[in-house]
Amino acid sequence: MQFSFKKILPHVLVLLGFAIISLAYFSPVLQGKAIFQNDIKQYIGMSKQQKDFKTKTGEETYWTNSAFGGMPTYQLGAQYPHNYIKKLDLVLRFLPRPADYLFLYLLSFYILLLVLRVDFKLAAIGALAFGFSTYLIIILGVGHNSKAHAIAYMPLVLSGILLTFQKRYIAGFLLTTLAMGLEIVSNHFQMTYYLLLLVIVLGVAYLIDAFKKKVLPHYFKSVGFLILAVLLSIGLNASGVLATQEYVKESTRGKSELTINADGTPKEVTSGLDRDYITQFSYGIVETFNLFIPRFMGGGNFEHVGKDSQTYKKFRSEESPTYWGDQPIVEAPAYIGAVVLFLFVLALFLVKGRLKWWLVGGSVLSLLLSYGKNEPFSFITDFFIDYIPLYNKFRAVSSIQVILELCIPVLAIFALVRLFNDFEKKEDKLKALKYSTIITGGLSLIFLLFKTSLFDFSGANDGYYIQSYGHDFVNAVKEDRKTIFTQDTLRSLILVLLSAGTVFMFLREKLKEKWVVVLFGALILFDLVGVDRRYVNNDDFVSSIKVNKPFTANAADKEILKDKGHFRVFDISNEGLQNRTKASYFHNSLNGYNAAELKRYREVFDFYVAKNNINVLNMLNAKYIIADDENGVVSYLNDEANGNAWFVENLIGVSSADEEIMLLDSLNNKKQALIDIRMTISDFQDKFELDSLASIDLKEVAPNYLKYESNNSNDGFAVFSEIYYGNGWKTLIDGEEVSHKRVNYTLRGMSIPKGKHIIEFSFDPKVVKTGSSIALGSSVLLGLLLLGGLFFEFKKNKKESA
């Protein structure tokens, strides 16, 4: 096989088109503007301290004091040495954000369809169908960048796997290694886990097919290559993978030792997240039709309904709470497209074999799991939570629908592939068209004719709106829900009929193939972009300065910033509750915004901090509290805060997590400390003579370093108001390494001999050093393999052309 410019040119033009389309959709980036993403705003607040430290010192810190009292930065964009796969990722994301992620969607899916031997024109249409799927655009609007990042590389990973099963072992191995390495770089393990579930479905389909065709040796040979590729891709990301693996055990994703909740009720003992938390965002069964009709359930929580709406006519509001599904928060419907779903149904009749079954199997599995706690399918989610490894580490089960949002466009494009080839008779194609039109068009017609008989358009939050605004308001909202339901159902019906008409005209030889391609490309873009622009458009862009510096210090912040000491701030103001990392942007905060903070800190927060327990706030050195009063946002000085470190008189042994956390409420933590006897020797010293002149003062502080001076005429035990994390913190007394222990459920404590001493804490995680060495070795190995693969392909091409 020889490459020529003529063969490459169409692909170059397609990729150029993808770049132009990505920039056109997010055109304000060309004016230097940036999209306002709330999650990124919170991330900037959380990560400012570590970025400021790197700007000042040129060094990376893997610990921050700015949020949740202190935590590792592994999930806050930490950069690791020898992470060369990350550099490749940055090269691929050359466009301004978020156009870069849209381009990745399109590129990755295009490659997948090419590997499946789809013509480049249809592959380009398929890429548009995937890239503009409403959910994929919505997550860019709200700032779920790492999720978008991981989804974008999913098709590329599948490309490598499929290439391997096509007996192109070397090319498949190399592409899988690179793609999986890039997938892991995205650092969204939930999406990667969902991809694994799809790969298992694919693997089962291919295993059954291999058994039937008696080619099991080829199947297992391919699996062997793929396992090696995944191992090498993990090696490329070793620092991040090992650090996350170490951290997750201590995070909220790990197993809790508590058997009680903060409200005193029994706690489900689990190795992961609570079942209710996992299934909080469960996709409604009836809500499934959102995939086909965008505002079937009202769209997002609030929709712009305009001046012709009943809400505006009666209450002068163009915004209405139109969503009437069961999920707590919905930014927009997970709309896949009426045109795409019509083609998907058509493909069910035209496409046969293993491709159809792994795509349909993946779609059905993801849909059933997305229902979460909703009957009658809750038993499936319960089974996965209880028995499938790692499934209970992830929340928001509705997000598993990303799998069907990937699978459905693939199969939809194969409807056109089968339409254009001669594998099926024209009569069979016409019959498939008839059934597809009846199913999709008929469904739309039923909803149009019988909507008020089938649905009452009542939402889960209507009771609240009745109490707040009255029955007339809710009645007006219901009328608006009916209106947009009718509008979007009619819209989907028209798109189905246009799609069916296009296919019919082709089968009747009234349209040529090229015009069918053009028409479906136009229909898909019109359909998806039209819905996408309702939720993510130019209005979401602001000046880049506002995005990069999202917080402004108020009077309370400015007052606190005058204090140059080391302390923590607890923000309970309305502004702080709405922007949970604002305090982190300016101070060392007890607040934060992250799905995986340290588990023990979160438990202390839920039991005491969230209830403003002053005893625990003192222990955490919360010197300032930001709150609202009649004059606005003010800061209160808590002069009872314990400070950075202090000597105690008594150590109280506890034998369980329940006992330890409950004693925090009444503990005289200025003189006493709790220590888990399971972590220390049974005959530990529990009483200390406290010298009234004894002192321990903080002399130097950085995110990853603390230096104290102690002076005590007696041997003593000191408590430090720093969050305990057992992996990576090294402790020295006068330059000699010693150990420290966890006390008071979440703080650090250690024995200090009498006299004057220098105590140092430094965060230098071994896991990063080990991982970096593995990453370097893996990168060198991959480089050699790439060179060997290119040489092999060159020799092969030369031999074929001889």
Measured over the CA atoms of residue 61, residue 63, residue 64 and residue 67, the dihedral's sign is: positive
Instruction: List, for residues 283-337, the tens digit of each pLDDT value.
Output: 999 999 999 999 999 999 998 888 888 888 888 888 899 999 989 889 899 999 9
Average of per-residue pLDDT values in the chain: 93
Cβ-contact 599, 68 below 8 angstroms: no
Q: What are the structure tokens assigned to 537, written together?
A: 């458009």
Confidence of residue 683 (pLDDT cuts 50, 70, 90): low
Q: Which residues lie across from 542 on neighbouring strands?
A: 34
Amino acid (1-letter code) at residue 771: G
Confidence of residue 424 (pLDDT cuts 50, 70, 90): confident
The residue to which tokens 């404590």 are assigned: 749
pLDDT on residue 422: 86
Q: What is the pTM of this model?
A: 0.92
pLDDT on residue 1: 45
The pLDDT > 90 percentage for the chain reads 82
Instruction: List, for residues 590-627, the tens digit of each pLDDT value.
Output: 999 988 899 999 999 999 999 999 999 999 999 999 99
Answer yes or no: is pLDDT of 709 > 60: yes
Instruction: List, for residues 713-760, the tens digit of each pLDDT value.
Output: 999 999 999 999 999 999 999 999 999 999 999 999 999 999 999 999
Instruction: List, for residues 376-417, the tens digit of each pLDDT value.
Output: 999 999 999 999 999 998 989 999 999 999 999 999 999 999
CA distances from 353 to 196, 342, 359, 534 (A): 21, 20, 11, 38
Q: Where do runs of H (alpha helix) occur along 58-215?
A: 84-92, 99-115, 120-131, 134-142, 145-165, 169-185, 189-213
Q: What is the mean pLDDT of residues 517-534?
A: 96
Annotate 640-674 with b (16+ C-beta within 10 A) or e (fewer).
Answer: ebbbbbbbbbebbebeebeebbbbbeebebbebbb
Answer yes or no: is pLDDT of 568 > 60: yes
Amino acid (1-letter code) at residue 272: G
End-to-end CA distance of the chain: 11
Q: Where do runs of H (alpha helix) occur along 316-425?
A: 338-350, 354-370, 378-387, 402-420
Instruction: List, for residues 188-212, the tens digit of each pLDDT value.
Output: 999 999 999 999 999 999 999 999 9
Range of weakest confidence among 337-341, 661-665, 689-693: 689-693
Q: What are the structure tokens assigned to 479, written together?
A: 């009328």
Instruction: List, for residues 241-256, the tens digit of each pLDDT value.
Output: 999 999 999 998 888 9
Contacts of 325 (CB under 8 A, 6+ apart): 284, 286, 287, 297, 298, 459, 460
Q: What is the mean pLDDT of residues 89-118?
A: 96
- Centre a 10 Å sphere on the Cβ of residue 192 and count the other Cβ atoms it contains: 18
Confidence of residue 794 (pLDDT cuts 50, 70, 90): confident
Answer yes or no: is pLDDT of 161 > 80: yes
Annotate 41-51 with b (16+ C-beta within 10 A) or e (fewer).
Answer: bbbbbbbbbbb
- Between strands 568-571 and 622-629, the pairing is parallel
Instruction: List, for residues 338-366, the tens digit of each pLDDT value.
Output: 999 999 999 999 999 999 999 999 999 99
Instruction: List, for residues 35-74, the tens digit of each pLDDT value.
Output: 988 888 999 999 999 999 999 999 999 999 999 999 999 9
Answer yes or no: is pLDDT of 148 > 60: yes
pLDDT on residue 316: 84
Cβ-contact 143, 43 below 8 angstroms: yes
Q: Which residues lie across from 758 on neighbouring strands?
A: 709
- Centre a 10 Å sphere on the Cβ of residue 715 and count the other Cβ atoms it contains: 13
Report the distance separating Cα 23 and Cα 723, nearest Å: 44
Measured over the CA atoms of residue 597, residue 598, residue 599 and residue 605, the dihedral's sign is: negative
